[in-house]
Structure 1
Amino acid sequence: MNKDIIEGNWKQLKGKVKEQWGKLTDDDFDVVAGKRDQLLGKIQERHGVSRDEAEKQVAAWESAEGRTPAALWMEKY
């Protein structure tokens, strides 16, 4: 997923991210602030998974929710 798209849609995505990774705190979301790499790190930390596993989970979540870069771009326009 395009980094800028995540940052641009962060407020909209935050609720869905909370549903998927419930151990993340509001402070975590402040740190992440829409940055994919930060999100991966917080998922690793809070859920005790490897970087590769966090990447797989986020990629699967993006695909399942239709959050490909093209789909998110279409939501904006």
Structure 2
Amino acid sequence: MTEETLQALIEKHTPHLMALPNVVGVGRGEEQGRAVVVVLVSRKLPLAALQPHERVPRNLEGVPVRVREVGSVQAQ
């Protein structure tokens, strides 16, 4: 996957992802040499605490998604 393709995928899905509970950012990353979408959350919650429509998907159009807890984010 090219950088441009990954960026287009992220831009396409960011509005939906940012509307999910606790999501504070979306970006790209790499895991074992493979491109991944990184979703930053203020606090990870157990799946049971979220309704199915509130959950971050495991992948977007075949690209793995990783959720990372970063705490609260404030502009400096």
- When normalised by structure 2's length, the TM-score is 0.35
Higher strand share: 2
Q: TM-score, normalised by structure 1?
A: 0.35
Higher relative contact order (CA 8 A, sep 6+): 1
